Amino acid sequence: MNPKKYSQKDHGIQRSNIDSDIDIVAETLIGNGYQAFLVGGCLRDMLLGKTPKDFDIVTEASPNEICSLFSNARIIGKRFKIVHVYVNEKKYFEVSTFRSDVKKHDKKKFKKVNGLIKRDNIYGTINQDAFRRDFTINSLYYDLDSGIIHDYVDGMNDIKNKKLRLIKKPSLSFQEDPVRMLRAIRFETKLGLKLTDDCRQTIKNMSHQINGISPYRLFDEVLKIMHSGHGVENYKKLREEKLFEHLFPFTHKILEDFSIYDDFFICALRNTDMRIKDGLHVNPSFIYAVFLWPYYKVLEDKYINNNSRSIDDVFRHIIESQSKYISIPDFFQNTIFSIWSLQSSFLNLSKRNIHYLTKLDKFRAAYDFFYIRSQINDEFKSYADKWYEIQKNVKSVKNKKNR
Ligand code: ATP
Ligand code: MG
């Protein structure tokens, strides 16, 4: 199949918009007879007038061939093998090889289980590569040699019409990789695009398939959605599209009876969105502490308050049951535990307690959490006002670091 081609005058991307360090990589690949294209998010973002966060290259050279061309390159990944090519000690570009998802028999390189792609390392042509991607707008190729964009999937028209469209039939695409349902939501809000109706309807019908995805992968994907700067909007969409209930099933069940937590989530996400817009650090633990809080509160009532189980026990139970859906790394678990276990201390305004709390490493995160709780619960308002004054005097270096 021949692609539609768009020259610089049609697509409008200036070479000066592209990170000039790309040339080091592009020239080596092209000079050795390989094609090299910019692909994916970087090209899509530039075409939509946004600044790309990184530049990814795709080529016909295999990972081993790429490595042999650069002195500082290494292969990473198993599900997708890609090469990191370093242009200096700290900076690298991701270079991947054209892939194909047409049925192959080499189980070592390509593996589908119940329609789900588990391994995808069959290399192919640019044409095949274009059709194994998710959305049309993510499947455009900017030839680094000629500056021409190659479009196999009518993605340029979708960019023009602000349409988010899957390349394959939605049911097939989501069966192959249910994470695409989360990506659909993230791109829709982040890029201000409109998802096609059939795609939206299919998400609702297939949302339960998100549980076929590894809980480790879901941790990253959920974080990307919540830390995109559009957390409020994304959360609402996750609920509407019936994805939230499969990501946080315990929380979801509680939400049905206690809708106040919906306000709590929105308040927390609004706060996170603002922090991201202001360029402040956001700790991944925080948002998980927020989403699992209703679950903790219910179990606190049931077990901790009558001393039938310890707080550690309850905490372990929550993490274990949630981890079947989304796996939370140990490092973040500790912060979640600190945030929750410190909450009652904010009701104690004695000098001694203030001194103790403000010295703690997790004070900032725990305070922010308490503040959000106070926004939806009048009981805590007067305490939160006092802590607001107190925390002003806690060093700002710490502020940035801890949350
Ligand atoms: P972001 O701005 O979030 O980085 P992106 O589109 O660049 O968006 P990446 O995860 O960096 O997302 O992936 C790079 C490209 O790889 C995508 O643009 C898309 O073409 C392809 N891709 C990524 N994930 C999938 C997937 N789950 N299924 C099919 N293609 C995918
Ligand atoms: Mg990207």
Residues 119-131 pLDDT 10s: 666 889 999 999 9
**Cβ of 179 below 6 Å from ligand 1:** yes
CB of 34 within 8 A of CB of 64?
A: no
Strand pairing report for 4-6 and 163-164: unpaired
Any ligand 1 atom below 6 A from CB of 180: yes
Does the pLDDT of residue 44 top 60, yes or no?
Answer: yes
Evaluate if residue 318 carries a pLDDT over 50. yes
Residue of minimum CA distance from atom 5 in ligand 1? 41
Three-state DSSP class for 84? strand
Closest C-alpha to 223, from 165, 176, 293, 290: 290
- Check residue 307 and give its pLDDT: 86
336-349 pLDDT tens trace: 999 999 999 999 99
Separation between Cα atoms, residue 187 and residue 135, nearest integer Å: 10
Query: Residue 139 CA: which ligand 1 atom is closest?
Result: 20
Does residue 133 have its Cβ closer than 6 Å to ligand 1? yes
DSSP state of 3: P
Q: Work out which ligand 1 atom sits closest to the CA atom of 56.
A: 14
Mean confidence (pLDDT) of the chain: 93
How far apart CA 165 and CA 190 sit, in angstroms, is 15
**134 pocket-lining for ligand 1 (C-beta < 6 Å):** yes
Does the CB atom of residue 138 touch ligand 1 within 6 A?
yes
From the CA of 40, how far away is ligand 2's center (Å)? Answer: 6
Token representation of residue 92: 């690298």
pTM: 0.91
User: CA-CA distance, 109 to 81, in Å (whole number)?
Assistant: 10
Catalytic positions are 54, 56, 134
Pocket probe for ligand 1: among 138, 182, 221, 222, the residue whose CB has the most ligand atoms within 8 Å is: 138
Instruction: Give dist(CA 13, CA 6) in Å, integer.
Output: 11
